[in-house]
Amino acid sequence: MRRELALLLCALTLAGCATSVGTIPAEHTLQGTEESVVVGRVEMVRPDGQPLTPAPAIFVGRMSLTVVHQGSGKTYAIGCDTRGFISDFYVSLPAGRYRLTKWESANLHTDLRGAFEVAPRQVVYVGTLRFTGGGTMFTWQGGAWAVIDGPDSTLRSFRERFPQIQQPAVKALIGA
């Protein structure tokens, strides 16, 4: 009886967890899969475009975005590629519509609202999710989130790292 109860509690705990998705492997392709590569960028910047805090990236950690697949209800934690407050992400996700729910980094987090669509077997560019705020963590309250359509740098980095993925990028910017 105890064993069954422990297994049930474990299953219930795991059911609410997000599946972590990080940068795709160097040899990744879209051949023989229904998944797509979702490409984007997250920035936490001051009004002058510089990173929000002067803290070394090692103290900031990797940012992540939490999204929910609206068809299955499955939750994914999209991990950014590098540490710090400016980073691209290149992740593999199943096709479908996604709801953006949260941004996190180290002990910081905030709820977000947005959505994007992922078509099967595509490279999908979802935009740059940019927070513009005060110069330090203590003056963030006056800041705001925006989605920026600026794919050049992000897609150039993606193509340099993953030249075997030749599909053209499809825009599906994060929207309301």
pLDDT digit string, tens, across residues 119-159: 999 999 999 999 998 766 566 667 889 999 989 999 999 99
In the numeric block, the tokens 């510089």 are attached to 50
The yes-or-no verdict on residue 26 having pLDDT over 80 is yes
pLDDT value of residue 10: 37
In the numeric block, the tokens 């999710």 are attached to 129
Q: Output phi, psi for 16, to 5 deg.
A: -90, 0
56 burial level (CB within 10 Å; 0-12, 13-18, 19+): exposed
Rg (alpha carbons) of the chain, rounded to whole number: 17
Report residue 176's pLDDT band, with 50, 70 and 90 as the boundaries: confident
> Do residues 90 and 32 make contact, with C-beta atoms less than 8 angstroms apart?
no
Report residue 15's pLDDT band, with 50, 70 and 90 as the boundaries: very low
Please give the C-alpha separations between residue 34 and each of 31, 118, 121, in angstroms, as whole numbers: 9, 11, 5
**For the domain with range 18-171, which CATH number is right: 3.30.420.40, 2.60.40.1120, 2.40.50.140, 3.10.20.30?**
2.60.40.1120
pTM as predicted: 0.84
Enter the tokens of residue 155.
Answer: 């897609």
